[in-house]
Structure 1
Amino acid sequence: MTSPSSYRLPKEESVRLRRSLIGKNVQLFYKHEPLKIVRAHGQYMYDEQGTEYLDCLNNVAHVGHCHPHVVAAGSHQMSLLCTNNRFLHDNILLVSQKLRETLPKELCVFYFVNSGSEANDLAMRLARAHTGAIDTICLDHAYHGHVISQIDVSPYKFNNTGGAGKPEDTHVAPVPDAYRGIFRDMDHVGEDLAALYASEVDKLIAGIHKKGRDVCAYIAESMQSCGGQVIPPKGYFQNVYNSVRKAGGVCIADEVQVGFGRVGKHMWSFQCDGVVPDIVTMGKPMGNGHPVACVATTQAIADSFSDQGMEYFNTCGGNPVSGAIALAVLEAIDNDHLLQNATQIGDYVMEKCRELQNKHYIIGDIRGRGMFLGIDLVKDRITREPDTLGTKYVVNRLREERVLLRSDGPFNNILKFKPPMCFNMKDADRMIATLDKIFTEIEDISTVHKYNADIEEREKYHFHPTSQISVKPTSKSKL
């Protein structure tokens, strides 16, 4: 039998079929010159011509692309059994035991699903069952998933193109961002920024009560990713969790992108603020690319959910193969000392980025923990005006230099560093040297405008619906 890996379409045909068969709003990275990645290992990815790229963005391949231990575990279990989780099987139990060892003792009941979106959707069901309320507080610019319930608590989606705006039972709190938020470090020197931002949540709670309604939940990533790699001020979550619980609500920590040791010093990002959530959601890193996710909660909340009387099942969630893979990922995190690596490499990258900041005016702020870092690019350090066009230039030039790093945030001016956790010192030096080179280029603003105009023209050529040409020859920039 011929395996799918034994044949491959020409890239031009892949582009043509993508345009004709896949929904137009399913986006590609680098759509002016799409990358066709055909294999990967560790922190390196390879295109159809064998060109190597350093992966600085793929937090899904948490322990490294195609990790041998994870591949072997999944392959072996697939050769034995993959079936509905309503048959008794040990893998789901072993993963639960392993997770329970990493979490606060209160979080002792587990539900398995297939994705972070499903996990957050189930978390909302649990919260509603426990509180009997529906009003939910989220953070501005947050993204929690692609299902309807999560679009409704994701301003990153409902306030942007195609969004229907904020639902009546969703309440949006300001992002606790000391650099670019409503309370800035330079304007509130010596003040308790955590308390200031938490007071905004208190105002939302008061508004909900004024309408004669109750609080269901507060949901937030422990470090906000799509909103710009934001690290909340120390004590923020402690204040907010206290207020939400006093109001009868539950606190949901979304660890889909930031969990499983990415912060380095802790397994879970919420531990950085010394809090214990009522519900924790997990996703992407858990399966290293395989679709498996989980919700952890307290016995009391789980009992409220079961007391409703409706059976809960998820056909593929926690199936034997998913269980084997998730267990292997947890073992790899321990065996490869990835928390220690995240701390060491993360500290090193932060130090080197600060050196770049002293050299290049475009770098306004550097923030992060472990292998979760953000570089805020600005036109002016005093006003902190975001440099969106400059960021676009940096991202695309990095790709030409075979380094994959993307941008995000409300102004799309934050370079986000979330690589596989096996990223090493040599990789860090390569990334920093490449950034240094490109930041030097960007000092010539005319180069940026010309380059970005060329990128936009090539994007039209590739995926404009009236275009008859599949792939336009790449015009390399003259720098």
Structure 2
Amino acid sequence: MSFSNIMDSNSYRSGGPADPLIASRERVLGPAYRLFYDQPVHVVRGEGSHLFDADGVRYLDAYNNVASVGHCHPHVVEAVSRQMATLNTHTRYLHRGIVEYSQRLLATMPAEVDQVMYACTGSEVNDLALRVAEMRTGATGIVITRDAYHGNTASTTAISPSLGGATKVGANVRLVDPPDTYRVPADELAARFTADVAQAADDLIAAGHGVGCLIVDTIFSSDGIYADTSVLSAAVDEVRGRGGVFIADEVQPGFARTGASMWGFDRHGLVPDIVTTGKPMGNGIPIAAMAARADVLEPFARGVPYFNTFGGNPVSIAAASAVLDVIEQENLMANAATVGEALRAGLASIDDPRIGDVRGAGLYVGVEVVTDAENGNPDRAEARRIVNALREERVLISVCGHDGNVLKIRPPLVLSPSDVDWFYSAFTAALGV
């Protein structure tokens, strides 16, 4: 079977006697689906930052940004239940909820980003954003980072090299190295990334594609989690100077994840032309959005009637609105900042040659696992071993990065100081120190 970096660096590898449930799953779902860990976890319940398996064992969820305000948050559950019992239909009828939510969502963004469209997944809105960018610019060329992941539609798979396997990057796509803050000197980082983006854009023009857009996840999560804020602004200027637009993929860094602001692009001091978001938006209820400057959106909006049967339905909007309530009322952005800082500080204090770097922002943390800190060589096998050792300590994380060696720590925003203590104890046990 082909190898996918984003899917298989921490996937279950079948072989030998299998749990009957695993065997049934493989039979009915087929081989494209993946499970996490050498010993998959059978979860049956969630609460806050914790998950419970079929035997009632409690796990610390340090991975899921989907249930961003905590698993089964009562305010979200109540809002969804109430709306489900009242009405659920599509957006071709008038409904006050979608208007009021849209006003709240856009109020969290720069004033220039003033219109929004809805779908069900990040893949869908990234696909939509590419269409909007092409109609705005008349160009099809796209610049992405080397190990980007932006979705699983045909168009977004073509800009998601981390999927690997039989997928192929489009002929109209150019890849640039991410801003590797571990291996590139700080005083060279922004200039190198900007030059790479400019060269990629020029190559697209020379090939006849033109420059439609630069699309990046603003914390470079699938590339290995790079939080430096000096790198994007000049690169965006290069793209706009060649007629392209900037798409900020906020599916992972958005909704207060970084602790510094509501959106990852804010940390870079940027106003995007298009913003996409999904996963954490409805705390597990499918909803995604593409927000844009009205002038950028206009050619598409005037020329293409848009309809998404489930996008922006009243139940999903109720969930999304409740998520905003919880973020505001429980001060989860501040929690992400303070608890995330404590988590990074604890990890950085561990003196172990296998830990090359600890980086991130808020509750998005990457730990670079290397053969030795002095040489910085990635250690994919050891990263996988640590992930599975943590799973045995009842702490759930995963990995990312080109070499599958960066531990990806991305818990719900309600992670507590006691959860950090649990994580630290489990992590040191997994290291054997």
Q: TM-score, normalised by structure 2?
A: 0.94
Aligned with 1:386: secondary structure?
A: coil
For the 8 Å contact 1:258–1:268, the answer to whether it is kept is yes
Aligned 1:5-404 pairs, distance under 5 A: 12-30=19-37, 32-157=38-163, 160-164=164-168, 166-180=169-183, 184-185=184-185, 191-231=187-227, 233-308=228-303, 310-356=304-350, 359-404=351-396
Distance in 2 between residues matched to 1:302 and 1:163, nearest whole Å = 29
Equivalent residue letter for 2:233: Q
Aligned 1:445-456 pairs, distance under 5 A: none
The one of 401, 411, 416 equivalent to 1:409 is 401
Equivalent residue letter for 1:174: D
Greater gyration radius:
1
For the 8 Å contact 2:230–2:268, the answer to whether it is kept is yes
Distance in 1 between residues matched to 2:117 and 2:360, nearest whole Å = 30
How many Å apart are 1:403 and its aligned residue? 0.8
How many Å apart are 1:34 and its aligned residue? 1.8
Distance in 2 between residues matched to 1:19 and 1:267, nearest whole Å = 39
Residues 227-284 of structure 1: CA distance to partner in whole angstroms, max 9, x if unpaired? 21122x4332110111111111010000001100001110001111101100000000
Residues 200-231 of structure 1: CA distance to partner in whole angstroms, max 9, x if unpaired? 11111222222344211110000111221122
Equivalent residue letter for 2:23: R
Distance in 2 between residues matched to 1:83 and 1:17, nearest whole Å = 34
Distance in 2 between residues matched to 1:129 and 1:295, nearest whole Å = 15
Equivalent residue letter for 1:431: F
Residues 173-218 of structure 1: CA distance to partner in whole angstroms, max 9, x if unpaired? 11111214xxx12xxx6x3421221111111122222234421111
Residues 124-150 of structure 1: CA distance to partner in whole angstroms, max 9, x if unpaired? 011011111111111110000011101
Distance in 2 between residues matched to 1:140 and 1:300, nearest whole Å = 30
Aligned with 1:317: secondary structure?
A: coil
For the 8 Å contact 2:400–2:407, the answer to whether it is kept is yes
Distance in 2 between residues matched to 1:394 and 1:192, nearest whole Å = 32
* Aligned residue number for residue 10 of structure 2: none
Q: How much identity, in percent, do the aligned residues show? A: 38
Q: Which runs of at least 4 in structure 1 moved beyond 4 Å after TM superposition? A: none
Equivalent residue letter for 2:261: H
Residues 275-326 of structure 1: CA distance to partner in whole angstroms, max 9, x if unpaired? 1100000000001011000000011022111232x21111110000011010
Q: Which runs of 5+ in 1 are unaligned?
A: 1-10, 442-479
Q: TM-score, normalised by structure 1?
A: 0.85
Bigger Cα displacement from structure 2, 291-300 vs 346-355: 346-355
Aligned with 1:264: secondary structure?
A: coil
Matched residues, number:
416
Equivalent residue letter for 2:139: A
The structure-2 alpha-carbon separation of the partners of 1:12 and 1:377, relative to structure 1 and needing over 3 Å to count, comes to closer
* Aligned residue number for residue 438 of structure 1: 430
Distance in 2 between residues matched to 1:296 and 1:274, nearest whole Å = 17
How many Å apart are 1:14 and its aligned residue? 2.1
For the 8 Å contact 1:84–1:319, the answer to whether it is kept is yes
Equivalent residue letter for 2:28: L
* Aligned residue number for residue 465 of structure 1: none
Give the CA RMSD over aligned residues: 1.3
Distance in 2 between residues matched to 1:241 and 1:408, nearest whole Å = 25
For the 8 Å contact 1:56–1:405, the answer to whether it is kept is yes
Distance in 2 between residues matched to 1:314 and 1:175, nearest whole Å = 33
Equivalent residue letter for 1:45: L
Residues 351-377 of structure 1: CA distance to partner in whole angstroms, max 9, x if unpaired? 111111xx2111000110000000001
